[in-house]
Amino acid sequence: QVQLVESGGGLVQPGGSLRLSCAASGTILSIGDMGWYRQAPGKQREFVAGIAGGGNTNYADSVKGRFTISRDNAKNTVHLQMTSLKPEDTAVYYCNAIIRTAWPVRTVDSWGQGTQVTVSS
């Protein structure tokens, strides 16, 4: 009864920037940890960035210093600001969140459908 919807993906040149957004909707009581993962063709899905409910963040080594994750608890959203993009960043990016639903009351591990990011000249 809850959904995560990503937006902001697209085609960008190397060195460019993109800002991904993910909005949660439904009968939400609260949201715990949130994060971004990505999957390139022929590769396993990998962790990119995470942010806890209290605001603590962590990043994959490959994106440290280039990506920034943030959240707005009042709006049930999480964002990923990506700068200095490289061709290696090309992948489908997925939003993830641990959601406590209000009705029925339960905790679910939710995933969005993904948004394509392509870095190419």
Could you list the pLDDT tens digit for every one of the 121 residues in the chain? Answer: 799 999 999 999 999 999 999 999 999 999 999 999 999 999 999 999 999 999 999 999 999 999 999 999 999 999 999 999 999 999 999 999 999 999 889 999 999 999 999 999 9
Predicted local distance difference test score (pLDDT) of residue 28: 95
Give me the pLDDT at residue 37, please.
Answer: 98
- Alpha-carbon distances, residue 45 vs 36, 38, 39, 76 (angstroms): 10, 6, 4, 24
pLDDT at site 103: 86
For residue 39, give both structure tokens. Answer: 């999957």
The dihedral region occupied by 66, where left means phi > 0, alpha psi between -120 and 50, and beta the remainder, is alpha
